[in-house]
A and B are shown apart, each in its own frame.
Chain A
């Protein structure tokens, strides 16, 4: 009994005492909000934006955060032969354990992107502390420079950056957001193509927006903006698409969640209408036409009219119908621009390859090898069904009311 009790005690202490080894207190963590990947020659350069919680607390507690003298984040940059070795080098200059689970966004430097990002993806899938749901961005320069920039009115630049991408994706859809796992899915699919939003700093002075002093102005001299779409073929960057082209790709790939589009209707006034798209659905079906493929693209979209440039009375269904036709034409044009840009870069960004593979697997086997050239011969058959659900509170354009009243006044 006595020996038994001793054994139990020993067992219990083994259990309880050994458990503490991987315990990390919150104040020992260096929580990173954003990470950046660059390449210098053969070496990886890793940058991470570490949150400084004590400074954050000053901002929260006090009524005015004006007294704050330190930024909320601190950026470390380290070099190494591999990515995690570079991260490991951070312990030479950082007192905290780097913690990646709360990273929201990763920035790829252009050099790293051009040489291939397979190592980055491998890292994100292999480790459990790095999440696959991190948003991916690319910059035409060094990622470390982007991480250093403050975003005015936001406490954490990394989080603000990811929020910017999310909001853009939900309310504009021109540069749709992409997460690590989505990027991996797309570049390993048959089309082997993916678009990543570009983040760009508009200022041109070195070191601008890297100090709290720059935040003291009402409008910052340089800002971080979402600029273009960086296109990947496989794991390598190959070119840029501008916003309108990228919007076309968004439509083709059913990534439009909400957006505001300007479109012109009657040639007389020449003024544009705009619509807030609240629902959009794109269906792509490949159709075999002899030796070639034709993609039938059916788009259904609906929304509310925000501005009316037309002179027509919008209470009449035929006028609304006319507007819908114009809107459909505009969306068709945008899609064609996107498709043209894809062909120009030479990448199947809309992902037609996967659609064909799924519907005609036998044909796909034959055409797989030559697809990079063949896809340019694919024809689009675009059918857009646009629906204006709410014309708004005003019957005609304001301008026509004005004309009417001046006439009656005479």
Chain B
């Protein structure tokens, strides 16, 4: 038997028309896994099945499946008399639009695994699959990793369809496109690439698909898998993609011409290409007044330098360049160091490591013992260590301020990079002093300047210097003045607003 597919090609069905044979095929492939539900619909007379409904437990909406079963019952009983059962009429009459014909074994097995409900009718060599997805999913909640005071409180969930809908709700444009790939030989994870046609750079989109298609792995469990597969360079502590839980951040970035990669099973969506300074912008910057946003951006950059260089500068200055410290400060630092057993470098490394341990413990521990950690961390390790003369009080201040400054960086992946590099700088400072710090900063800058994210220089707009892109990096200019998109991502369609946008109302008020 031949039927016409969507593409108009003739396709031969490879499935048997005997329903029990098909079921045997299915069971051979799926085994007797306990989560597979097989429901036989029997003829009332001889209790032989006329249809079999097969799906995975927990992935389908049971109500809808029951509704479909009763539809099938009605259909079969109605057609039994005149024996006019056909695939076409079935697709039309039982759940129109939701059923799809399947003609080979592989597709049938996959349909079950995807969570679809497969219907086998006795006498037809075509299986049908209905997408009646359901089951327990986490609902849309406030993002936990990136909180804001003003702005949307929705966060992505683990369900990719929900996530796409969340983005679509913000951008109701025909040009917003999502294209899917199934990646992972075992996990068969749905990965969706979102971009706005006409804004996103087509070369970047093409490159993203090329890199995604080159992935041949057994599993994709989180977007970080994808990130590591498609990033430009592995030998860097710096992230070349942003991950975010916030649909509004994704929408904003899509409108600037970036590409989003959504992965089923994780609320973290990748955004690319990105530049270094992007990691210091929060989506809240655009919801607050531009003056305070600008100020906060400068604070974040300052915090970056503090988190990166404060402990090392302290070590360098107190062990090598003591002449740089004002005399009174030097005396009080020297007084604190009287009687402390460890050299400044060892002291700093010890305290930083202690902090990292406390931090890791804070993330991993059960929430019930949370207060215990803070008591031990703050009192025992902080105050008691100083009183016991193990570390100097100044060092505790330095380490604490460094830690707090580290949390100011809006993206966790960037603050992790800083955490790692900091240790390198501390060792350099402890061995060479300020000279050592400079000897570390210069290669770091060289590395940053050489880095690329999907063909875009990572250190834009600082290097190569581009003043037209500076408007939304250190400063945030008010929206009516932001007439153009940053042109490094979107080479086509740079204009955001008309020249007169936001002008008229003010003139009228002035009369």
CB distance from A162 to the nearest CB of B (A): 10
With contact pairs A19-B436, A22-B320 given, residues A29 and B334 touching in the complex (Cβ less than 8 Å) = yes
If A16-B427, A19-B432 touch, whether A24 touches B319 (CB-CB below 8 Å) is yes
A15–B330 CA distance with the chains assembled, in angstroms = 28
Best-surrounded residue of B322, B336, B427, B436 (most CB of chain A within 10 A): B322
**Contact B431–A27 (Cβ < 8 Å):** no
**Chain B contacts of A15 at CB under 8 A?**
431
Which residues of A sit under 8 angstroms from B334, Cβ to Cβ? 26-27, 29, 31, 51, 53
A-B residue pair count with CB separations less than 8 angstroms: 79
| Binary flags per residue of B404-443, CB closer than 8 Å to A gives 1, else 0 | 0000000000000000000000010011110010000000
Which stretch, A98-106, A182-190, A263-271, touches the partner chain B?
A98-106
B: interface residue count bin: 20 to 34
Complex CA gap A104/B339 in Å reads: 27
In the complex, chain A residues whose CB is within 8 Å of the CB of B431: 15-20, 23
Among A318-336, those with CB < 8 Å from B are: none
What is the bound-complex CA distance between A26 and B347, given in angstroms?
13
Docked Cα-Cα span, A22 to B320, in Å, equals: 7
28 contacts between A and B (CB under 8 A): A16-B427, A16-B431, A17-B431, A22-B320, A23-B319, A25-B318, A25-B319, A26-B318, A26-B334, A26-B344, A27-B340, A29-B334, A31-B334, A51-B331, A53-B334, A53-B335, A53-B338, A54-B339, A56-B332, A57-B335, A60-B335, A101-B322, A101-B323, A102-B323, A102-B327, A102-B330, A129-B323, A156-B331
Interface residues of A in 70-108 (CB under 8 A from B): 99, 101-102, 104
In the complex, whether A159 has a CB less than 8 A from a CB of chain B is: yes
Chain A residues near B340: list those with CB within 8 A.
27
Inter-chain contact A54/B320, CB cutoff 8 Å: no
Among residues of B, the one whose C-beta sits closest to the C-beta of A60 is B332
- Of the candidates A31, A104, A131, the one whose C-beta lies within 8 Å of that of B330 is A31
A104 to B327, CA, bound (A): 9
Q: Enumerate A38-67 residues with CB–CB distance to B below 8 Å.
A: 51, 53-54, 56-57, 60
A26 touches B436 (CB 8 A): no
Interchain CB contact under 8 A, B335 and A23: no
User: A25 to B335, Cβ gap below 8 A?
Assistant: no
Residue of B at shortest CB range from A102?
B327
Give min CB distance, A142 to chain B, whole Å.
25
Contact of B322 among A19, A29, A33, A51 (CB under 8 A): A29
Question: In the bound complex, how far is the Cα of B321 from the Cα of A99, in angstroms?
Answer: 11
Q: Does B343 contact A (CB under 8 A)?
A: yes
* Interface hits, A234-256 → B, CB 8 Å: none
Chain B residues whose C-beta falls within 8 Å of the C-beta of A54 in the assembled complex: 335, 338-339
Residue of A nearest to B317 (CB): A26
Taking CB atoms, residues of chain A closer than 8 Å to B327 are: 31, 33, 102, 104, 159
The minimal Cβ–Cβ distance linking B480 to chain A, given in whole angstroms, is 49
Candidate in A17, A23, A31, A129 with the most chain B CB atoms within 10 angstroms: A23
A277 CA to B388 CA in the complex, in Å?
55
Residue of A nearest to B326 (CB): A102
- Is B332 touching A57 in the complex (CB atoms < 8 A)? yes
Within 8 A of A (CB), among B321-364: 322-323, 327, 330-340, 343-344
Asked if A23 and B430 sit within 8 Å, CB to CB, the answer is yes
Nearest-CB distance from B199 to chain A (Å)?
Answer: 46
Q: 9 closest A-B pairs (Cβ-Cβ)?
A: A19-B431, A57-B335, A101-B323, A53-B335, A53-B334, A26-B334, A26-B337, A27-B337, A54-B338
Report the bound CA distance from A54 to B319 in whole Å: 18
Contact between A25 and B323 (Cβ–Cβ < 8 Å)? no
Q: Is the CB of B338 within 8 A of A27?
A: yes
**In the bound complex, what is the Cα–Cα distance between A17 and B332 (angstroms)?**
29
Closest to B318 in A: A26
Identity of the chain A residue whose Cβ is nearest the Cβ of B342 in the assembled complex:
A25
- Known pairs A19-B432, A27-B338, A31-B327. 4 more at Cβ < 8 A? A26-B318, A27-B337, A27-B340, A101-B323
Residues of B within 8 A of A31 (CB): 322, 327, 330-331, 334
CB <8 Å contact, B339 and A27: yes
The distance from the CB of B395 to the nearest CB of chain A, in whole angstroms, is 11
How far does the Cβ of B159 sit from chain A's closest Cβ, in whole Å? 46
B331–A24 CB distance below 8 A:
no
Write the chain B residue with the least CB distance to A25.
B343
Question: Cβ of A57: which chain B residues have Cβ within 8 Å of it?
Answer: 332, 335-336, 338
Q: A56-B332, A56-B335, A57-B336 are in contact. Are A26 and B430 (CB under 8 A)?
A: no
**0/1 per residue, B73-106, Cβ < 8 Å to A?**
0000000000000000000000000000000000
B219 nearest CB across to chain A (Å): 30
* C-alpha gap A267/B320 in the complex (Å): 65
Smallest distance from the beta carbon of B204 to chain A beta carbons, Å?
35
Least distance between A4 CB and chain B CB atoms (Å)? 16
List of A residues within 8 angstroms of B319 by Cβ: 23-26
The answer to whether B322 touches A26, judged by C-beta atoms less than 8 angstroms apart, is yes
B323 and A23 contacting across the interface, CB-CB below 8 Å? no
Residue-wise, chain B 197-224 has the 8 Å CB interface mask toward A (1 for contact) of 0000000000000000000000000000
Smallest CB gap from A57: residue in B: B335
Tell me the bound Cα distance from A51 to B338 in angstroms: 13
Q: Smallest Cβ distance from A166 to chain B, in angstroms?
A: 14
Distance A57 CA – B334 CA, assembled complex (angstroms):
9
Name B331's contact: one of A19, A53, A101 (CB within 8 Å).
Answer: A53
A286 vs chain B, min Cβ distance (A): 41
Whether B332 pairs with A23 at a CB distance below 8 angstroms is no
Chain A nearest CB, measured from B372 CB (Å): 31
